[in-house]
Homo-oligomer: A and B are copies of this chain.
Amino acid sequence: MQFFEDIAIGQRRELGSYTFTAEAIKTFAVKFDPQRFHLDEEEGRKSLFGGLAASGWHVGCACMSLLVADGQRLAREAAARGEKVVAWGPSPGFRDLRWIKPVLAGDTVSFVNEVVDKRVSSSRPGWGILQATTTGTNQRGEQVYAITATAFVPMRGQDG
């Protein structure tokens, strides 16, 4: 993870992809979103989704898992280069989550994160606030998911 000053608007990270198997879709749905079109192929086909569809929350969680893995990979690489690894603050939440198209069993979604805004925090000295949008695109090149999140990022100045 980088310091606030080192992050540029427009900066992109490819996070990798996640394949939504029928089994993973159902396992998630049983626990957190037991609607019939997330649990059963036939019910999915009869629904507006047109097939066994992943819960939107499953898509969000899959995206989060790739975002965390990518952050951990970057931190390991920075540590290997002997750089200081920066701990970001907790996220206060996000705005504008969009489920654009259904994610059906067998779909593979690739996620990309892009910094869309940055500003110095007025309430927390030494911290900046980052806005980043992560989008998910399926194997047919269709955007299926987008989320804009906020993160608190420490400023280099603080640390000397």
* Chain A residues packing against B (C-beta within 8 Å): 31-35, 48-49, 55-57, 60-62, 64-65, 68-69, 72, 89-99, 102
In the complex, which residues of chain B have a beta carbon less than 8 angstroms from the beta carbon of A32? 61-62, 64-65
In the complex, A17 Cα to B13 Cα: how many Å? 37
Q: For the complex formed by this chain, how many copies does it contain in all?
A: 2
Cα A116 to Cα B85 in complex, Å, equals 43
Please name all residues of chain B whose beta carbon is closer than 8 Å to the beta carbon of A102 when the two chains form the complex. 90
Majority SS of interface residues in chain A?
Answer: mixed
A33 surroundings in chain B (CB, below 8 A): 61, 64-65, 68
Chain B residues within an 8 Å CB radius of A31: 61, 65
Starting from the known contacts A33-B64, A34-B68, 17 additional A-B residue pairs (CB-CB under 8 Å) come to A31-B65, A32-B65, A33-B68, A34-B65, A34-B72, A49-B90, A55-B64, A56-B91, A57-B60, A57-B61, A60-B60, A90-B102, A91-B99, A92-B98, A93-B96, A93-B97, A95-B96
